[in-house]
Structure 1
Amino acid sequence: MPRELDEKDIAILKKLAPECGDLTCSGSGHMFHSILPPVSNHFSEDSEDFIRRLSSLGDDELTYITDLIRKGDESLGCLPVEDVEALVHLIHDRLSPEVAQNVISAYESGNACEH
């Protein structure tokens, strides 16, 4: 499922993690292939910080990410469970219960963490 981040992806990543200097994972040395895992695992201090960052997105940006998740283009496999739960609550509250359920289904489909 690795993908190359496009300009829109990079803009959202930089909005969520302005301290992101480059697009390389410090742990693996590989380029980031998703938006949420680096924000969760490299830049957020905890789940509260993760959700605070995601809350800065507009509904159109959040919808874009959920569309990527539903298509299997955005990885949730590397996120801690508490960050996935926080994401689902945000989507439920901001977009809809149906979209939140779609994200849960995508998460439960079991895409493993890819490095």
Structure 2
Amino acid sequence: MARILSETDIGILKTLAPECEGLLCSGSGVPYRSILPPLANHYSKDAADFLRRIKMLSMYELEYLIRLILSGEESLGCVPFDYMTLFVENVSERMGKEVAAQVKKTYENSECPA
């Protein structure tokens, strides 16, 4: 489900990717509609850098992001598998295995919108 990023979304993205200057995908030229895909595909150097950035999320920010994921508002389909695996492991450590399993299932059922 595509959405327009809220001020909260933009704040989280800028916290995780302070080098983010604009909110347009460099590949497609369309505005970002989620937080994790641009973080993974445009700002993180590799999976380890993605995890380092994800660990910067406060508990409030992580809970907010999980709510968006579970409601279908946060797109996961374009996030590479190895990045998402690390994200799910981090969610498991911080929020428990049940929440992590829900996130994993949501990822497995998602597709990258072309």
What TM-score does the superposition give when structure 2 sets the normalisation length? 0.97
CA distance in 2, matches of 1:13, 1:26: 16
CA distance in 1, matches of 2:2, 2:60: 23
Moved over 3 A (4+): none
TM-aligned CA deviation for residue 22 of structure 1: 0.5
Aligned Cα root-mean-square deviation (Å): 0.7
Which residue number corresponds to residue 98 of structure 1? 98
Q: How does 1:68-107 map onto structure 2 within 5 Å?
A: 68-107=68-107
- Specify every segment of 5 or more residues in structure 1 that has no aligned partner in the other structure, as ranges: none
Which residue number corresponds to residue 63 of structure 1? 63
CA distance in 1, matches of 2:100, 2:90: 8
State the identity as a percent: 48
- Specify every segment of 5 or more residues in structure 2 that has no aligned partner in the other structure, as ranges: none
What TM-score does the superposition give when structure 1 sets the normalisation length? 0.97
Which residue number corresponds to residue 48 of structure 2? 48
TM-aligned CA deviation for residue 60 of structure 1: 1.0
